[in-house]
Chains A and B, each alone.
Chain A
Amino acid sequence: MKRILIVAVGMLFLTGLNSCNKVKSTSKRLMKTGDWKVTELSVNGVNEEELPKWEIDDCDIYDESCFGEWKNDEGGHAEFIWQFREKGEVFELSYQAEEHDHEEEGEHDHDHAAEEAAEQAANFSGVYEVEKKEKKVMEFTSSSTVGYSGSRVKIKVEKI
């Protein structure tokens, strides 16, 4: 009887702990794997021609903003902040411009690849519903992104 009680209490404890930490566990799942390949980045079912990679940094979701890098095949990259909430059912992506020193850079020294990465990250910023959150695959959908408000946007990422 005593053993059953201990097991029951233990299970209750674990269940409680698990259900209240879904945000953390989902976040850990994304950040622990580090690099993700975006295999779908579509607007109303039409996929983007250039699909980036996400490089996700480790972070404490309750203590700091979690950064990721949006990298394209041409070597361009842009920064974004990401966050899961509502028990891991909501995902937010927010493009953050990196500060440049234009005097050092020179007037004409624009990095086109970085501009493209920034444009994509900015356009796809928004609040997403989490459709899938498996260890190796995550899917997010939204109709309220910065660049495609009102259109159905889908992001699918797969672990590299």
Chain B
Amino acid sequence: MKKTVQYFLFTGLIATVLVSCKKDDDLVDVPAPDQNEVELITTFKIIFTDPANVAPTVEAIFRDEDGDGGNAPSQFDDIVLAENTTYNAEIILLNESESPADTISNEVLEEDGEHLFCFTPAGTNVIITRTDTDGTFEVGLQSQWVTGAASQGTTEISLKHQPGVKDGSCAPGETDIELNFVTIIQ
């Protein structure tokens, strides 16, 4: 009799454990991860003005409505500058997929301590100097372009995002945008 009771108690205990065990099926379903809406730069515009008001203002635009990848850019101008001239240049970044367009360069300016534009001319007679700073390092939204004799080459312009690692050089950080403009000095 005693053994039978013990047997039932034992079996009951095991059954209780097994029944009370939660299974993965009892877990709440994990929803699929949301898409992260990345800040889109559709338009890069660089405007050159001659502070002496001799050479005409020059504008070069890169426009890719759907951002990096997807459809090809709809506009990619050459930079055409007069020889032996000093220009002040200003970069404007836009997200034209929104209405009204979002001026991304304002955000770059707000966070100038973690952004740096890098300019790399090749095969063209131009010396480029950033003229704005974040208080410690240059930024590059504003720059001075001093052209020499007539020539043709390229100028790579990239925007580096360097939160916490900005040291004035182009090495650290991630590249937000990188464009290689055909540059003609004539």
Partner-B contacts on A (CB < 8 A): 5, 9, 12-13, 16-17, 20-21, 23-24, 49-50, 61-65, 73-74, 80-81, 83, 85-86, 92-97, 107-108, 110, 112-113, 115-116, 118-119, 121-123, 125-126, 146
B34 CB contact (under 8 Å) in A5, A16, A96, A107: A96
Asked if A65 contacts B30 (CB within 8 A), the reply is yes
Contact between B22 and A94, CB atoms less than 8 A apart:
no
Name the CB-closest residue of A to B24: A85
A107 lies within 8 A of B100 (CB): yes
Contact sample, A vs B, 27 pairs, CB 8 Å cutoff: A9-B10, A9-B13, A12-B14, A16-B14, A20-B18, A23-B22, A62-B22, A80-B33, A83-B27, A83-B30, A85-B24, A85-B27, A86-B24, A94-B30, A94-B32, A95-B33, A95-B34, A97-B34, A108-B103, A112-B107, A115-B38, A119-B36, A121-B36, A122-B34, A122-B35, A122-B36, A126-B33
Residues of B within 8 A of A118 (CB): 36
The one of A12, A16, A108, A125 in contact with B21, judged by C-beta atoms closer than 8 angstroms, is: A16
Asked whether A81 lies within 8 Å of B24 as measured between CB atoms, the reply is: no
- Considering only residues 1-55 of chain B, those with a C-beta below 8 Å from chain A are 6, 9-10, 13-14, 17-18, 20-22, 24, 26-28, 30-39
Question: Which B-chain residue is minimally distant from A14 (CB atoms)?
Answer: B17
**Binding site of A, secondary structure by majority: helix, strand, loop or mixed?**
mixed
Bound Cα distance from A73 to B37, whole angstroms: 21
Give chain A residues whose Cβ lies under 8 Å from the Cβ of B18.
16, 20
B169 to chain A, nearest CB (A): 15
Verify A49–B31 contact, CB threshold 8 A: no
B162-180, CB < 8 A from A: 163-165, 172-173
**Contact A23/B24 with A5-B6, A108-B102, A108-B107 known, Cβ cut-off 8 Å:** yes
| Interface size, chain B (Cβ < 8 Å) | 36
B39 proximity list for chain A (CB < 8 A): 110, 115
Q: How far is the CB of A49 from chain B (nearest CB, A)?
A: 6
The 9 closest A-B pairs by CB, nearest first: A20-B21, A122-B36, A125-B33, A16-B17, A97-B34, A94-B33, A95-B33, A85-B24, A83-B30
Determine whether B106 belongs to the interface, using a CB cutoff of 8 Å to chain A: yes
Distance of A80 Cα from B21 Cα, bound (Å) = 27
For residue B111, CB closer than 8 A to chain A, the reply is yes
The answer to whether A110 and B165 have CB atoms under 8 Å apart is no
Cβ–Cβ < 8 Å partners of B31 in chain A: 65, 81, 94, 96
Residues of A within 8 A of B32 (CB): 94
Q: How far is the CA of A21 from the CA of B24 in the complex (A)?
A: 10
- By a CB distance below 8 angstroms, the chain B residues around A93 are 33
Looking at the assembled complex, report how far the CB atom of A23 sits from the nearest CB atom of chain B, in whole angstroms: 7
- The reply to whether A24 and B22 form a contact with Cβ atoms under 8 Å apart is yes
Residue of B nearest to A79 (CB): B34
Determine the distance from Cα of A41 to Cα of B79 in the docked complex, in whole angstroms.
41
Residue of A nearest to B18 (CB): A16
- In the docked arrangement, what's the CA distance between A62 and B111, Å? 43
